[in-house]
């Protein structure tokens, strides 16, 4: 029997009324004969409310305790959903991370799934139960409760699908993945199938539909992931390996994504000593600070200027590390940054995408502050005020 | 080093401000050199709010899922308290029932503590940590989350004190145990020391200060239990073995308790067949329905009338059982019941207490509907409108 792992996000289970709707769509699926494991996020704004409670105590809550606190949100929604299904006459059971042996490694607040002991889930599936799993949470080697970071329930769902050799369906409040955020570009097209790699670039760049680690996991184990609305006939998007079958003459650019969540740090006149630079970046990495764009001037007198972007939330911690290697008056921060990215596996085979973009930007007076490229994406840092203009001219030009 | 197990109730941790006050009284105690384990209830009305959420789904929520849901309340308060202590520079750690291996047996919603794996707590105490334990919860043999019933955090605290050979302090919103509820009799005296047995009678009869199972546990293992206000110089009450040392010439009656939580069921004209009656009461017992008072008329033509009281919340389930053994028109329900009890180990050696009470009641036109006695208590069922009058005349007479 095929195992279907579904995930319902916080807005889908935001009220008891909505939990009942989710239950009815689970039942519809169950009646088709699938074995069902359902991963849920916390109801609505529960996680934010719990964080607000912790912030009343301190600006810097202990991370172990914060994880223990936040894990309750998903326990509440999962038990309520199981309760609803039982009340409707379906055998359901809710499980926490402890109960299904979802082991994590790494730091509190952004732990990585190490393994899942699938036996409890498998036994319950054999008993024809609908299994409801509290998403977002895990247990580390010390037996402490951990969380997987924002959006971590997606990763919980994909990890379970991997473990059970199932397929994964992520139900959310958007009806699929769009080439451009429809709120910013009304003519945006929905993508029917998107390659893991393209989705990864879009997810990590702020498309905000999927937790990027869940896409990585799907890619690693070849688990296709459906993203769409629940209780709806509108078809969503399937994330899978499309690269091999892709039309080489197809689009160069699949999608656009922008993000205002980063800030650029510039260090002027730092020693061009590979040890200094690698220590700096290792120092940041060891604190799990995600550096995205890096640009560096050519060395003059063995000294260089270097700029890089970090997530806004990590700015304070980043500055502590930077402070070790540079004097205060050599460091500057630019908060007026939008990361603007074009993504497409077609870029591998289509040349001139970057050139076209630069031409468009210069014609429209959009200043590019930094730029990085990978095989399948081009990202520029631009001013926030230029964001909407950039989206519209690029989407128009590349027919997104 | 002496281990002190403290328990703070829901009203003591009802807000972040109050959690901070609890933290400061924990710290004061810690500074005296004691090893501290702190058990907490859910914040304020959290448990009621969670129950209300479940009741929005169904009047009869699945018991396994309800326990999973309710257990989150104590996880929230325990992690917030640990967070507060850490923020104040004290090493603290919160644990769930899973983490300290608090195993339970019996039904969901009213599970009994079977054992606690003390090793995790002991190791953390060795590291000089302040341990915060989520009260009220446990884990059964199947690995499901269970709860211990209302007030179960008291039992959690005493059980940990038993396991660690420590003493137990229950902090609540009353400053000790009174001979009579001070809200009902303003001249009531606070009791300095009370015997486990007296406290048990008072607790089970609605004194509502202590969870009676916690007192039983304290009695069984000889763990003294202090009950009082936190952060206060007002001395509370110690529950311990005072019987052996008691002044035999002392008071006959130690305290009064009343409860409006029961309802009387009367079955008329039921067969006086010991099998029928024992099946009836076994049927109720097997559903864990607590029958308190029983009275029965003398058999006429092998048939009797029988009355007994059950908790209001169990009325519906009780009627199902009763329905098996009696016709509908032979069953009547009396909801206008106050259980009025006098408790005192002195009753063992003082005669005439019941007679005195009856005289008082008849002089004051208080009708006694049912009566039961044990070695150390007398309980009458009276009309609810007579409750305050009964309290006042008895308290005055017995100098409580």
Instruction: State the complex-level ipTM.
Output: 0.77
Share of chain A above pLDDT 70, in %: 96
Residue B240: pLDDT over 80: yes
State the pLDDT confidence band at B201, using cuts at 50, 70 and 90. confident
Entry pTM: 0.79
pLDDT at B25: 94
Report in angstroms the alpha-carbon separations of A151 from A99, A154, A190, B71: 21, 6, 22, 24
Residue B324 and residue B283 in contact, taking contact as beta carbons nearer than 8 Å: yes
Chain A, nearest residue to B69 by Cα: A76
pLDDT digits (tens, 9 = 90+) for A25-66: 999 999 999 999 999 999 999 999 999 999 999 999 999 999
Encode pLDDT of B75-102 as tens digits.
999 999 999 999 999 999 999 999 999 9
Residues 240-269 of A with CB under 8 A from B: none
Residues of A in contact with B94 (CB under 8 A): 65, 68
**Greater model confidence, A187 or B27:** B27
Across the interface, do B69 and A50 touch by the CB < 8 Å criterion? no
Collect all residues of chain B within an 8 Å Cβ-Cβ radius of residue A83. Answer: 54, 57-58, 61-62, 65-66, 69
Residue-wise pLDDT for B368-399, tens only, equals: 888 888 778 888 899 999 999 999 999 888 88
Q: Which residue of B has its CA nearest to A98?
A: B98
User: Worst-scoring range by mean pLDDT, A346-355, A363-372, B188-197?
Assistant: A346-355
Decide if A16 and B53 are in contact by the 8 Å CB cutoff: yes
Partner residue facing B75 (CB), from A72, A99, A144: A72
Number of CB pairs, chain A paired with chain B, less than 8 A apart: 105
* pLDDT at residue B116, rounded to an integer: 96
Strand segments, DSSP code E, in B110-246 are 112-116, 130-134, 137-139, 145-147, 167-171, 193-195, 225-228, 237-240
Average pLDDT, rounded, for chain B: 89
Residue A235 Cα, gap to closest chain B Cα (Å)? 30
Question: Pick the residue with more confidence: A357 or B43?
Answer: B43
Q: Do A86 and B62 touch (CB under 8 A)?
A: yes
* Confidence at residue B89, expressed as pLDDT on a 0 to 100 scale: 97
Torsion sign over Cα B303, B309, B312, B318: negative
Which pLDDT value is given to residue A111? Answer: 94
Average of per-residue pLDDT across A77-86: 98
Contact A16 B66 (CB under 8 A): no
Greater model confidence, A298 or A97: A97
Phi then psi for residue A46, to 5 deg, are -50, -45
Q: Which of A65-69, A299-303, B113-117 has the lowest mean pLDDT?
A: A299-303
Minimal C-alpha gap between B314 and chain A (Å): 20
pLDDT given for residue A328 in this prediction: 86
C-beta atoms of B68 and A62 within 8 A:
no
Q: How far apart are CA B272 and CA B264, in angstroms?
A: 20
User: Of B60, B61, B83, which has the smallest distance from its Cβ to A62's Cβ?
Assistant: B83
No. of helices (H) and no. of strands (E), chain A: 12, 22
Instruction: Report the distance separating Cα B152 and Cα B47, nearest Å.
Output: 12
Pick from B66, B76, B87: CB nearest A83: B66
Contacts of B146 in chain A (CB under 8 A): none
Tell me the backbone φ, ψ of residue B303, rounded to 5 degrees: -130, 145
B177-200 per-position pLDDT tens digit: 888 888 888 888 888 999 898 888
Name the residue among A83, A98, A143 with its Cβ closest to that of B61. A83
- Residues B72, A72: contact at Cβ < 8 Å? yes
pLDDT on residue B265: 92
Q: What is the pLDDT of residues B19-66, one digit of tens each?
A: 999 999 999 999 999 999 999 999 999 999 999 999 999 999 999 999
- B346 has pLDDT over 80: no
Q: Please report, rounded to a whole number, the percentage of residues in chain B having pLDDT higher than 70.
A: 96
- Chain segment B352-363, per-residue pLDDT in tens: 788 888 888 989
* Residue numbers in A near B98 (CB within 8 A): 98
Instruction: Give the model's pLDDT for residue B242.
Output: 79
When mean pLDDT is compared across A134-148, A241-255, B25-39, the lowest value belongs to A241-255
Q: Is the pLDDT of residue A244 over 70?
A: no
CB of A98 less than 8 A from some CB of B: yes
A288 falls in which pLDDT band (50, 70, 90)?
Answer: confident
Query: For residues A284 and A83, which has the higher predicted lDDT (pLDDT)?
Result: A83
Inter-chain residue contact A78 with B57, CB threshold 8 Å: no
Average pLDDT, chain A: 89
Cβ neighbour number for residue B376 with a 10 Å cutoff:
21
Q: Which residues contact A64 (CB under 8 A, 6 or more apart)?
A: A108, A144, B93
Question: If residue B50 lies in a helix (H) or strand (E), which one and from where to where?
Answer: helix B46-57
Collect all residues of chain A within an 8 Å Cβ-Cβ radius of residue B64. 93
- Which pLDDT score is estimated for B171? 94
Instruction: Indicate whether B213 pLDDT > 70.
Output: yes
Which pLDDT does position A206 carry in this prediction? 63
179-218 of A, contacting B, C-beta below 8 A: none
pLDDT at A208: 67
Which residues does residue A7 pair with via DSSP β-bridges, in sequence order? A39, A170
pLDDT on residue A86: 98
> What does the pLDDT read at residue A270?
83
pLDDT for residue B248 is more than 60: no
| Sequence-separated (6 or more) residues with CB below 8 Å from residue A399 | A251
The shortest C-alpha distance from A49 to chain B (Å) reads: 12
CA B351 to chain centre: 29
- Does the beta-carbon distance from B80 to A64 stay under 8 Å? no
Chain A residue numbers touching B69 (CB-CB < 8 A): 75-76, 79-80, 83
Q: Distance, in angstroms, between B220 CA and closest chain A CA?
A: 32
A80 to chain B, closest Cα gap in Å:
7
Give residue A398's pLDDT.
85
Q: What angle do CA B167, B169, B170 make, to 5 degrees?
A: 145
Chain A CB contacts of B87 below 8 Å: 57-58, 60-62
pLDDT tens profile B294-322:
887 777 888 888 888 999 989 999 999 99
Which one of A57, A74, A88, A120 would you mutate to disrupt binding with B, by most B Cβ within 10 Å of its Cβ?
A57
Residue B244 has pLDDT above 80, yes or no: no
Contact B86 A65 (CB under 8 A): yes
Banded model confidence at residue A207, pLDDT cuts 50, 70, 90 = low
Does the beta carbon of A23 lie under 8 angstroms from any beta carbon of chain B?
no
Residue-level pLDDT at B103 = 97
- Quick check: A62 and B86 CB within 8 A? yes
Share of chain A above pLDDT 90, in %: 56
Per-residue pLDDT of A368-378, as tens digits, reads: 888 888 778 88
């Amino acid at each position: 029997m095929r195992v279907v792992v579904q995930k319902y996000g916080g807005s889908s289970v935001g009220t008891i009324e909505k939990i009942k709707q989710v239950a009815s769509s689970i039942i519809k699926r169950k009646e088709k004969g699938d074995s069902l494991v359902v991963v849920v996020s916390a109801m609505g704004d529960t996680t934010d409310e719990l964080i607000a409670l912790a912030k009343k105590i301190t600006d810097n809550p202990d991370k172990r305790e914060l994880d223990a606190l936040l894990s309750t949100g998903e326990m509440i929604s999962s038990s309520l959903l199981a309760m609803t299904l039982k009340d409707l006459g379906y055998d359901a059971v809710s499980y926490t991370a402890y109960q299904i042996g979802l082991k994590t490694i790494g730091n509190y607040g952004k732990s990585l799934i190490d393994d899942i002991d699938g036996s409890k889930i498998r036994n319950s599936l054999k008993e024809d139960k609908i299994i409801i799993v509290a998403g977002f949470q895990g247990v580390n080697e010390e037996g402490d409760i951990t969380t997987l970071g924002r959006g971590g329930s997606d990763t919980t769902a994909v990890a379970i699908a991997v473990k059970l050799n199932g397929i994964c369906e992520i139900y959310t409040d958007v009806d699929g993945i769009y080439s451009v955020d429809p709120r910013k570009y009304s003519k945006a097209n929905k993508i029917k199938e998107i390659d893991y790699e393209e989705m990864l670039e879009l997810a990590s760049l702020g498309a905000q539909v999927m937790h990027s680690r869940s896409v990585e996991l799907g890619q690693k184990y070849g688990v296709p992931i459906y993203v769409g609305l629940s209780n709806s006939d509108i078809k969503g998007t399937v994330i899978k390996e499309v690269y091999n079958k892709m039309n080489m003459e197809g689009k160069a650019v699949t999608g656009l994504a922008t993000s205002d969540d980063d800030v650029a740090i510039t260090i002027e006149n730092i020693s061009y000593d590979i040890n200094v630079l690698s220590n700096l970046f290792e120092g940041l990495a060891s604190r799990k600070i995600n550096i995205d764009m890096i640009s560096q001037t050519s060395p003059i007198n063995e000294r260089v200027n270097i700029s890089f972007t970090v997530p806004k939330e990590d700015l304070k911690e980043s500055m502590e590390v930077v402070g070790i290697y540079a004097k205060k008056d050599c460091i500057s921060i630019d908060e007026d940054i939008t990361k603007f990215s074009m993504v497409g596996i077609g870029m591998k085979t289509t040349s001139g995408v970057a050139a076209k973009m630069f031409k468009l930007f210069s014609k429209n007076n959009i200043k590019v502050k930094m730029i990085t490229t990978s095989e399948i994406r081009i990202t520029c840092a631009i001013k926030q005020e230029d964001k909407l203009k950039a989206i519209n001219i690029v989407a128009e030009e590349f027919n997104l």
